[in-house]
Structure formats: C-alpha cells, structure tokens
Amino acid sequence: MTEHVSHEHDVLVIGAGGAGLRAAAEAAAAGVKVAVISKSLLGKAHTVMAEGGIAAALANVDERDTWCVHFADTMRGGQYLNSWRMAELHAKEAPACVRELEAWGAVFDRTLDGRILQRNFGGHRYPRLAHVGDRTGLEMIRTLQDHDIHLGIDVFMEYTIVTLLKDGDRIAGAFGYERERGRFHVFRAKAVVLATGGIGRAYKITSNSWEYTGDGHALAYHAGAGLMDMEFVQFHPTGMIWPPSVRGILVTEGVRGEGGVLRNKDGHRFMFDDIPTAYVNQTADTEEEGWRYTQGDKNARRPPELLTRDHVARCIRREVKEGRGSPHGGVFLDIAWIKERIPNASEHIKRKLPSMYHQFKQLADIDITQVPMEVGPTTHYMMGGVRVDPDSQMSEVPGLFAAGECGAGLHGANRLGGNSLSDLLVFGKRAGQYAANYAKEHSLGAIDADELESAEKRALAPFERDGGEGPYAVQYALQEMMQDLVGIVRQEKEMLEALERIQELKVREERVGVNGNREYNPGWHTAIDLNNLLTVSEMVTKAALERKESRGAHFRDDYPKKDDKFGTFNIVIRKGAGGEMQVRREPIPEMPQALKQIIEEMK
C-alpha cells in the first residue's frame, strides 16, 4: 500500500454545493471540527446553475400564500409518494432559511416596498420563488461560501472520494485522492454528510455539470444504506437543443414564469390541449387569463406552461413525435411576444432574465428579446437518493447523513421548480445540526487497514491494464443507452435490454485501462467515475421495472395509467450480503389527519 495523508474531523461533508455548504455551516456553528470535500473548485458546484429561485411561502407578493399551501403543492407535485414529514418541515422552515440567507448577505430582487420579490413557477399556486434575476443559485453559493470561510472549516478542493469507511456498522470516515496530484488521503470522521448532487451524467442529454456522476448514491449503496425512489428522474422540459455543442444546457422555468409561452411549428400553444385533471381548477382557460396571472393578477389562474415539469416535458415530446416540432427536434419557447403587451419589452426581458439573454446570444447567436428559442427536454434532477430519517437526515448507516439531491423523500415522484434550493437550505441545515450532535456523542471509529488497501488497489487498477479500452468509450456507450432505453418514456422490453447492456458495460469497465501517471490524469478520473455511473444506472432501471404504472416523472408506454396500489409504497434498493442489488417495496407511513385535511382544503 502506498503512503497516504490522514486527517481527523468530527464532521466530514462530501460535496460543496448548497446542501454541503449549509450543512458545514450548521455543524461548525455547533462547535465541532468540520471539513468539506469538493470535487471541483470551491464556488463551482452545480448549484450555481440553479436559475429560477428559492421556493418559500414568504407571502411577499401574494398574502394568501402559507406553509400549508406550499405543503399541499409539494405533495400534489410528488404524486403523494413524498415523505409527508419532510414536505411539512420543508414548507414550514423554508421562509426562515431564506431570511437567514439574506441576513448572511444574499442580495435578492425586491418589491417596490423593499421586500424580497417572488416569481411564479410551475406547480406553485402563488408567486413563491425568491430570486436574483435568473442567477439565484450563483448568489446562494457566493453567500454560503463567504459565510463558511470565516467559520474555520477545512476545505479540500478538487478531491474525489472513492469509498466510505466503516467500523462495524457505523461510519468511520472516507478514502479518496486529490485530483491534481493523485495522492491518496484518509479522512477519519465521527459523522459524514453526503451532499454530492445527482446522476445526470448517466444520460447523453443533461443540464448537469461534469461532477454529477452519482458519487454519493453509489457510496451510500456500497456502505449499506438504502436508496429510495430511484425510478424518478426528472427531465426538465426546456433545455437548449441547437447548436449541438450546447444541447441540454438549462433554459430556466423563469422564462415561462415571466410570460414565456410554448408553441409548436404551427405557432399553436399546445399546452392548452392537455391539462391534467388534478390541475384543471388551477389552470387558465384562455391565453388572456394566463398572461394576467404572470403579471400578478390574483384573480387569474396560471397558464398551462406552468404545469409540472414531468407533464410539460411529455407534451413537448408528443409534439415532436407527431411531427409538429421545431426544425431541430424541439419546440419554440417565446418570451419576445410580450412586446405586444408591454412597452420597452426588450429591456424588461434583459433585466428579468439576464443570464438567458447572454446564454442564447453568446452560444446560439439568438436574441431572445426578438425571436423564439428552440428548446427540448434535458435530464435535470434526481428525485431518488439515500433514504433518510425525515427529521435528522441520517441514513440507515449510523453516522451517515445525506442532504440535497443526494437524499430522497421530499419530492416524491416529481420535484417542483424552486423546491430544490429550499431543500438544500432546510435539510442541509438539519443534516449539519444532527451530524454535529452525533459527533459529540461518539468517538472516532477504527480504520481497517485491509479495507484501505483494497480501496487503493481498485482505484489504481486501470493503470495495470495496459492497452485496455479507454474509459470515455464506455461512458459514452452508457449515456447513449440510458437516453434511448430508460429515458422520458419507458417500456419493459427496452429496460430489460438496458439491464443486459449494463452488465456488458460492467465487463468493459473492468477492462478499462488508462495511460500515464496519477498526476493531471482526467482519463483516470473518468475510469473511477464509471463504477458509480453503472451502479446508479442499474438502480434506476431496476426501480423503473418494478413500478408498473405511470406516475410523476416515471412514464411507461406499457402501463400508461396511474395505479392506486402503487401509491402506497416507495421502492427501496439495498446491497445484499452477496453483493446483489435487492429491490423491495416499503410502505409509506400513514399521514396525520391534520395534514390530510390541509391537502383536502387545497384541492
């Protein structure tokens, strides 16, 4: 075994996005020694790409908004597979978390009387998203980063964790390496918080950054934790589709919240053609009513462009499949049309959507203030993740916590826009708090030298396969396969084929070889990521096969209807004693009558 560097902390946070930085801040405030491990540079986490805003019932724009409405909206959006306790905590605590972020220096857009401005977003009954133009995630990361660096937190930038370490059943730390030099490090810790984000890089077309290779999901799985709702992968309805070099880059829902509309090649607003029964009473009947809603008319109902993301994505796919799509296989998203309604529309759009204006101007040479954008669905968010206790965010492995996109429970079958950023704040804070409490009550666990040696050997194996297949070829093959066979619309035959292909790719992954040495070697990094990508891809496919219905982000051609009996349980995946992947149905706990009453009153 080669020499490695050892570190000791009370709480180790893996991931430096919104959830990780918020967890670290809370743990440090509790007086424990904290370290944060970032796969990229600090401040570069994928949270910066979150554009629309933070969902919280502040009621600054519409006084009718309350935590009860937010709770009901979240449960309805998740098709009632959500953890009702997490949805309750989230709705109640999000406003205070937003105000806390403001107190730490976040600069939000303002109402005329100086309060935090909130915008409309899909699936939310009232204007609820606190925002900074269309750069809210960037402002969140900037604020949390500035706050955290004054708390004495140790930050390890450009490090990758390859395995979690255990002492018996409990967590004992993590083993990884620094990406620049390739040196191995052992991080001993009393508690570990996973905040590694999603799995988008398992798909060909994605809005996710390069870090999103399912690291936290795979680490938790191999450590013995259960993972839940892995069949639910959200395809955001609006990603860039042209030119090919920018395909998949996110186009914020904020465009539609500011009055943008979706049209097919014939100029028809097709979203009016298919409104789900559960949303009929809350959706505008006419284009005029929809416009009035986006302009703050409290008596108007939301336009169908602001229905839930899963539904909008499937409607776009239908238009393309039936020959009514745009020239490059999408549809048109038009914000320029508002010049028919308001003066100085061009300046208004640039002020409200500055990132979108520059993104299309620089990457596609399109002026969104004058012409429509071409958009199509892109892999965006993972509702599934580590199964955690709703209050503490601790997994089934003692001392292992998870928060943000890496955790599961809040969003159920489909996430509402804006709930991700408030999720990061509410449950990042809780994970940090309870991880610190756990660390105060426990000592450092023992490290197994054989476990370290085995992990190091696995990490270095690609160097020993001289002339083996390159890692990028395997990664691209996996992404193509998942996009084609386990995408927006699924069926049993294709998913069974996907499982066979995953097994074939596992064999190829075991033969992957890399050249050179451990310093500055992106091929080696990709080879290590492959195992995580294959693990989460298998989870998604097996969970999707088990759910024989269509619900939320999971749509099956062979089972196109929702089945009530599938609404009584979550699908949970664990690693068996023999290394096999086990799939089980776990009943959803009974919701208290008081929360049931809230949902009934909000229908």
Which residue numbers are catalytic? 236, 256
DSSP string, 437-479: HHHHH-PPPPP-HHHHHHHHHHHHGGGG-TTPPPHHHHHHHHH
User: What token pair was written down for 126?
Assistant: 């009232």
Longest dimension (CA), the chain: 70
Decide: 62 and 127 in contact? Cβ < 8 Å.
yes
DSSP E strands, 121-219: 129-130, 154-157, 159-167, 170-178, 184-194
User: Of 558, 536, 538, 540, which Cα lies nearest the Cα of 549?
Assistant: 558
Decide: 430 and 169 in contact? Cβ < 8 Å.
no
User: Of 161, 124, 578, which Cα lies nearest the Cα of 400?
Assistant: 161
Give the C-alpha separation, 70 to 76, whole Å: 10
Decide: 137 and 53 in contact? Cβ < 8 Å.
no
User: Of 445, 434, 444, which Cα lies nearest the Cα of 27?
Assistant: 434
Contacts with 334 (C-beta within 8 Å, 6 or more apart), sequence order: 260, 261, 262, 263, 372, 373
Task: Report the sign of the C-alpha dihedral through residues 75, 136, 352, 380, in that order.
Answer: negative
Q: How many helices (H) and strands (E) does the chain have?
A: 16, 20
Provide the Cα torsion 201, 202, 206, 211; round to 10°: -10
- At position 140, the amino acid (one-letter code) is M
Contacts with 249 (C-beta within 8 Å, 6 or more apart), sequence order: 207, 239, 240, 359, 363, 378
Give the C-alpha separation, 211 to 40, whole Å: 8
Decide: 86 and 71 in contact? Cβ < 8 Å.
no
Give the C-alpha separation, 384 to 287, whole Å: 35
Buried b (16+ CB within 10 A) or exposed e, 209-231: bebbbbbbbbbbbebbbbbbbbb
Give the C-alpha separation, 448 to 431, whole Å: 26
If one counts every other C-beta atom within 10 angstroms of the C-beta of residue 321, the result is 10
Secondary structure class of 130 (helix, strand, coil): strand
Give the C-alpha separation, 61 to 186, whole Å: 49
Task: Report the sign of the C-alpha dihedral through residues 595, 229, 189, 26, in that order.
Answer: negative
Give the C-alpha separation, 413 to 550, whole Å: 10
Decide: 524 and 281 in contact? Cβ < 8 Å.
no
Decide: 21 and 98 in contact? Cβ < 8 Å.
no
Task: Report the sign of the C-alpha dihedral through residues 380, 385, 389, 394, in that order.
Answer: negative
